[in-house]
A and B are shown apart, each in its own frame.
Chain A
């Protein structure tokens, strides 16, 4: 059951794509990376992360390849596909547009 992780709804996919653009990562590393980049502000719960990763696989936005984690375990490393890049651009543009609009409203008050 996804717990409240402070993420605005619908942004998790975008964030995962964003961290994967820099380098291929496995599940735990993705969660860590998002936490780091947000200055510990956002934490991705495993209950949301893995369904989101499955969705990315299903949509064809990322590809997974077997890898060995730092602790020596079998994991999957996810890397962004061209379709995923396109999706990220679209979502980022959309997010920025919406957040600017929301910001404008909040400023004006």
Chain B
């Protein structure tokens, strides 16, 4: 209590300071006047200050004074201040933007109850008798073992199975496709997620209930807060809406990314109950495979829970003696799974932007050192007048703090803007992107960044300045010696550091750019120009697809049209095993599966290299036929004609050229094509994609195609219209994002390094003008002197490049498993070295010209 009272009085004093100090002054004057020998009173000012110090605000006065002084000094050199604040704003802003992404995606806990105890359960369904090697346990869990886990596990609190699918919501503008998660009733309880309106599933709920997202709620019911009696029609069936989840709730993350032809944003809009799991009686079927999440009991670790589930799984295996099913089980934290695709990339970007920040700090330190050099006389004067060393250091730090805070304030704006742009650019691909926001932690990070950078670039010049020998400076003239000795070495060192950092970033950017160029030039196997794709769902009879193809093909401006269930280059494939008739099976080979209509190959420009393509006479009634791709033919029929051979999946009637199916960077895998008419039941519930090749701009045909589709089957929703070129370019989104970011970082670092180089060289030339004048007067060639300057600049760049190469090589060892990095050869290094030599030339052009133009008489007279 007394401490609090004391502080209140301190603050009271601070608020009424002027009056207090006035009173003190007057009473001391009165005291002095009353003394018999007023002269003995001592130094009035000093005594008053001692008395005021008791209130404990001296530090504040000092700071205010330092900051005022710093602000005045900086205002006197606006050019310097703008360059420094600008480079700090850019670098801290960029760093903070990347940090806010990193923080929102990787560092913040998932928005569920005790998210660290949530785990994914992975399974496997490999059969020993089919041969081959067991796949890693990354698959879904079949219902028999799931039921056993649920009944027998003691280390997990609960299991929840779910499946991602789509539903079509009836609306005034026709059906709208939404991503739906079908899950058991424990799902929300297990996650610990609460609805914003209504409730989530209850064990007594019937099948026809739905929990919807806030977006769907707004769209369907105009955000009406009363839920009673609200129903929503999904694929013709009414569902009672029981609850609305708040907008940030999305689980599973990236749900839509595993659905072909899905909406570009990854979001789930509706959650529906899963029918009760099949009971143990249907063990033999092993149907019904689910994504499974579970919650660890407190005090149970991942390892203990995994081994318990493995024991249970082994008991289930024993019931399959005949088929020798090998069930695997593996647990992984949900938090790790969600961010796995992006974690490494984000840390890499953070490291890259850290390099930029480092370069900016080095640059600012460099500029400050240059200023310190110029201000040495001021420093010396103040030291001579009694400013202590710590006082001087504090003054310098106040200046750098002021600079970095000003940079930080501008940086906060850049960070807010950059975060928004990045989230918009990556929303469809970065998991948890919708959760990213500017949190207080982001600003705390920015503030910490400012303080650290201020100390980093401010302390060195401050300490340097105070170490200068007073006499040596005062004795000499202003333009002379200061650049020699520690200052010069330090500035050179900083410039070399900048060059090295810029080199590493430039190399990174070059690798990314070359990789994009390489992938863009990869033979995709398709002719993608003038092709547009439209996704149609839900599933329709095969005859509808054939009818639509026929109708669209005859529309004016259309060259050809065709369907597939999965457009190539979606970072996703659909693989299954096959067997060759009449050949002893050495394991089960696998191949990609595509279900297509006859026009598919012509539309995507995939030539049939052997045999024939599909025709409309390949119907459900005719014998099953398939096409294989060249890769399958090469691998399994190396010396024979595959046409006419039979697989267990049909008779091979032709061979088509290879297509990059999954990603431009991945070679073509063996692939089997089915005619949709014979196998459409195998195709997914998710509908098919229509591809249309046109003579002119493909976008113009979207509207007539929509009409044609509606006329043939009004239940079909047409959405996700994209040109094939767009799809190819989207498949490289990650590299594109890196190209922009790393490229931007590299340019920033290059500009900083150029400024640094120029600054040091120009200063050096200015400081040595007299020496050059003397040399000229003694008969040196101007060109020779210019060469001196250039040689010095090249020396610095050289050391910087050498450091950059070493650092880059060390980093490459770390990333050596990355293909693009592994391909980096001498050519790229050479190109970047040449770039840096060019920059050096630019940086020293003006100083060199100035040297060559020195007028010895004028220069010497000026001293």
A: which residues have CB within 8 A of B? 1, 26-28, 31, 46-47, 50-51, 53-55, 57-60, 64, 66, 69-71, 73-76
Contacts and interface: CB of A to CB of B under 8 A. Distances in A.
A19 to B, nearest CB: 15
Contacts of A53: 51
A58 B51 contact: no
B interface secondary structure, majority = helix
Interface residues of B, number: 29
16 contacts: A26-B27, A27-B28, A28-B31, A28-B34, A46-B31, A46-B32, A51-B51, A51-B54, A55-B54, A58-B55, A59-B2, A60-B6, A60-B9, A64-B23, A73-B29, A76-B23
Nearest to B24: A50
Contacts of B55: 54, 58
B36 to A, nearest CB: 11
B10 interface: yes
A102 to B, nearest CB: 29
A93 to B, nearest CB: 19
B381 interface: no
A84 to B, nearest CB: 12
A32 to B, nearest CB: 9
Given A66-B23, A71-B34, A74-B23, A58 B29 contact: no
A59 B56 CA distance: 12
B463 interface: no
Q: Give 3 nearest A-B pairs by CB, closest first.
A: A73-B30, A54-B54, A50-B51
B34 A74 contact: no
B26 interface: yes
Contact of A69 (B13, B30, B50, B53): B30
Nearest to A72: B30
Nearest to B51: A50
Contacts of B528: none
Contacts of B26: 73-75
Contacts of A75: 26-27, 30-31
Contacts of A70: 34
Given A50-B48, A58-B55, A74 B30 contact: yes
B52 interface: yes
Nearest to A50: B51
A68 B50 CA distance: 24
Contacts of B47: 46-47, 50
A69 B54 CA distance: 25
Nearest to B50: A51
A28 B33 CA distance: 10
B41 interface: yes
Contacts of B35: 28
B42 interface: yes
B276 interface: no
A86 B53 CA distance: 25
B531 to A, nearest CB: 82
Among A31, A46, A59, max chain B CB count under 10 A is at: A46
Contacts of B54: 51, 54-55, 58
Given A46-B42, A54-B55, A73 B23 contact: no
A3 to B, nearest CB: 8
A26 B10 CA distance: 22
B5 interface: yes
B117 to A, nearest CB: 53
Nearest to A78: B27
A90 B54 CA distance: 22
Contacts of B42: 1, 46-47
Nearest to B56: A58
A1 B47 CA distance: 7
Given A1-B42, A58-B9, A60-B9, A51 B30 contact: no
Nearest to B19: A66
A2 to B, nearest CB: 9
B52 A27 contact: no
Contact of A27 (B2, B9, B10, B27): B27
B31 A27 contact: yes
A74 B52 contact: no
Nearest to B53: A51
A70 B33 CA distance: 11
Among A31, A51, A70, max chain B CB count under 10 A is at: A51
A46 B52 contact: no
Interface in B1-24: 2, 5-6, 9-10, 13, 23-24
A50 B42 CA distance: 13
Contact of A71 (B23, B28, B30, B46): B30
A75 B32 CA distance: 12
A59 B51 CA distance: 14
Nearest to A66: B23
Given A1-B42, A60-B5, A76 B51 contact: no
Given A26-B27, A69-B34, A54 B9 contact: no
A28 B55 CA distance: 21
A58 B13 CA distance: 9
A62 to B, nearest CB: 12
A74 B26 CA distance: 6
B8 to A, nearest CB: 9
B33 A73 contact: yes
Contacts of A31: 31
A39 to B, nearest CB: 18
A54 B51 contact: yes
B27 to A, nearest CB: 4
Interface in B503-522: none
A1 B54 CA distance: 14
Nearest to B9: A58
Contacts of A73: 26, 29-30, 33
Given A51-B51, A53-B51, A54-B24, 20 more contacts: A1-B46, A27-B27, A28-B30, A28-B31, A28-B35, A46-B28, A47-B50, A50-B51, A58-B6, A59-B2, A60-B5, A69-B34, A71-B34, A73-B30, A73-B33, A74-B23, A74-B27, A74-B30, A75-B30, A76-B23
A76 B22 CA distance: 11
Interface in B48-64: 48, 50-55
Interface string B139-157: 0000000000000000000
A54 B34 CA distance: 21
A88 B408 CA distance: 52
A64 B27 CA distance: 12
A1 B32 CA distance: 16
Nearest to B41: A46
A53 B26 CA distance: 15
A28 to B, nearest CB: 4
Contacts of A60: 2, 5-6, 9
A49 to B, nearest CB: 8
A51 B23 CA distance: 14
A55 B55 CA distance: 8
A69 B86 CA distance: 59
Contacts of B46: 1
A101 B746 CA distance: 77
A28 B36 CA distance: 12
A5 to B, nearest CB: 12
A47 B44 CA distance: 9
Contacts of A46: 28, 31-32, 41-42, 47
A26 to B, nearest CB: 6
Contact of A50 (B2, B6, B13, B50): B50
B669 to A, nearest CB: 81
A73 to B, nearest CB: 4
A13 B55 CA distance: 16
Contacts of B30: 26-28, 69, 71, 73-75
Nearest to A26: B27
B677 to A, nearest CB: 94
Nearest to A47: B47
B559 to A, nearest CB: 91
A60 B30 CA distance: 24
A78 B41 CA distance: 21
A27 B24 CA distance: 10
A57 B32 CA distance: 21
